[in-house]
Chains A and B, each alone.
Chain A
Amino acid sequence: MMNILVCISCVPDTTSKINFTENDTEFDTNGVQFVINPNDEFGLTRAMWFKEQNDANVDVINVGEQENESVLRKALAIGADRAFRINKKASDSFQVAKLIANHIEGAQYDLIIAGRESIDYNGSMVPGMISELLNINFITNCVKLEINGQTVVADREIEGGIETLSCKLPIIIGGQKGLVEESDLKIPNMRGIMQSRQKPLEVVEPPEIQTKTTTNKFYKPEEKNEIKMVDSNDLDTLIDLLHNEAKVI
């Protein structure tokens, strides 16, 4: 039976207004709803697909504090079997990668799925770091994943096209849309939600990991200049503005 781990980052819902507190050193969570990182959600659904086809155990893991548990419960409601929360506020990608790698070392996973990037810190780092820490094959920007016995065939999105790669299990994937279609994303049903309450959610106390980076201060983007409107019967003016003022054509 295949053993799968899906790494879940808890991120602000995509419609969230982004504000900061504590002199712009902390993200303001006031009124913000946290969700499964969209790239991870495609991976979780793909994991459920493997489970339905071939039977598999699907674990989910998050490095974060207690408030993330509702997001992990949602992953259990979607169909994951067990959840692990490493009890540490995630502040550095290396730290997160190292803590997840520690968990993987003790557990023998065939397939580990993370997202290409999280939509909050946009690091694009955790799966690649785990792969190097544990010397496991790694394919990111993954838009298609098939597994046949021990053989993996995966499509990676590259600039201007697609590259098809193959290797053996175990592997770690950086997933994104395409891994499954948007319309196939799993939404928890009532039965799933009921069952999720009985499923194990284990809290693991982490060792100290030396961080390599810190985030110090946030800024909002500068306000845009007023828009210039051009009449649809006067497109020559638009061309003139783009050429002489903006200098982009």
Chain B
Amino acid sequence: MSILAYIESKNKKPKKNSFEVVSYAKELSKKLSTELIVLTINIDNHSNLEKYGPNKIISVNDIALNNFDAKTYADVVSQVATKFSISHIVLGGGVDSKYMAPMLSVKLDAGYLSNVVELPSNVEPFTVKRTSFSNKSFCDASILSDNKIISLASNSFSTIENPSNPEIIDFQVKASNSNIKQNSIDLVQGKVTIADADVVVSAGRGLKGPENWSIIEDLAETLGAATACSKPVSDLGWRPHSEHVGQTGKPVSTNLYIAIGISGAIQHLAGVSSSKVKVVINSDPEAPFFKAADYGVVGDAFEVVPELNEKIKAFKAENN
């Protein structure tokens, strides 16, 4: 009985949320008095993972695994889980992990809970808190089966340093062939993704038209932020669907969310409310978003946003 944390990689390096996943899994392993094994696929340098306390790192390197394929990856994780007598698997909340997890749960006959936000409040039955109703509520849920899988909600657990000197095990797998072929991959270059961003600058219908988005992009660039938008903005074709956030779009769980010209409809708030700090800029003092935010500015976006951008630029220049 051991804990397995599987972490995603990008360009042969652990993805940003990996340290959160390993920190969580380490605390869980302490709680269950068992060891923590971290599984990496095609990552060449493990030194930054060692800070977070794994007892072992299983390193799988195989060119057949260069492209993520959910079924093949589920197969690899399940081979490792079986070989190392894993009882609990901890995953991050990235799209690839969430794609693979339900397949893995059937393979291992494991109960699976997603969007977990805390360490278990109870180990028998294994009970964790997770989000539900698109962040309008939380619930306690239990896993009844012997094998257990959880995936964490993004940005819900902080990293905890716990330096260790893990044994690194090179592990050979038989990567199964997938029936699904990757034809092409189209990544937007040079932009921060909403999933990776510490800061998200989001704008709504208050911006009046797509031609006005340069003030949003400029502010995002100054802050190293991702850009996002409300649903009508993407439905109108002002911005791509991939920027639509909210209950029916992407969830946002970032450190700083800046909402500009967004009224704060219940469906919008549901998807962004788990962000830690929310700033609202809106010309209407009655906009409902002011009730759900931490800081507010009543004003015209076309005046406030460029000025704020210049001031943050100056502030950054001074403080760096």
Contact = CB atoms under 8 A, between A and B. Distances in A.
B267 A228 contact: no
Given A93-B112, A235-B308, A164 B71 contact: no
B250 to A, nearest CB: 9
A219 B144 CA distance: 21
Interface residues of B, number: 93
Contact of B256 (A143, A218, A242): A242
A182 B236 CA distance: 9
Interface stretch (B34-42, B133-141, B161-169, B202-210): B133-141
Nearest to B312: A239
A158 B300 CA distance: 34
A55 interface: no
Interface stretch (B25-33, B57-65, B81-89, B239-247): B239-247
Contacts of B120: none
A183 B249 CA distance: 16
Contacts of A23: none
A110 interface: no
Nearest to B292: A224
Q: Is the interface of A mostly helix, strand, loop or mixed?
A: mixed
Contacts of A238: 279, 295, 297, 308
B143 to A, nearest CB: 5
Nearest to B254: A248
B191 interface: yes
Contacts of A127: 102
A132 B103 contact: yes
B127 interface: yes
Given A129-B103, A129-B106, A160-B187, A242 B182 contact: no
Contact of A232 (B94, B181, B297): B297
Contacts of A228: 294-296
Given A38-B248, A213-B144, A221-B138, A163 B182 contact: yes
B18 interface: no
Contacts of B141: 213-216
Given A216-B141, A242-B256, A14 B103 contact: no
A168 B180 CA distance: 8
Contacts of A162: 185-186, 242
What are the 8 A-B residue pairs with the smallest beta carbon separation, nearest first?
A128-B102, A232-B299, A212-B111, A132-B106, A161-B187, A160-B193, A248-B256, A18-B136
Given A39-B248, A182-B235, A224-B294, 4 more contacts: A119-B133, A121-B133, A133-B106, A161-B188
Interface of B: 70-71, 74, 94-96, 98-103, 105-107, 110-115, 125, 127, 129, 131-145, 179-188, 191, 193, 195-196, 198-199, 223, 231, 235, 241-242, 244, 247-249, 255-256, 266-267, 270, 273, 276-277, 279-280, 290-300, 303-304, 307-308, 311-312, 315, 319
Interface of A: 12, 14-15, 18, 20, 38-39, 93-94, 97, 119-129, 131-133, 137-141, 143, 153, 157-168, 177-178, 181-183, 211-221, 224-225, 227-232, 235-236, 238-239, 241-243, 246, 248-249
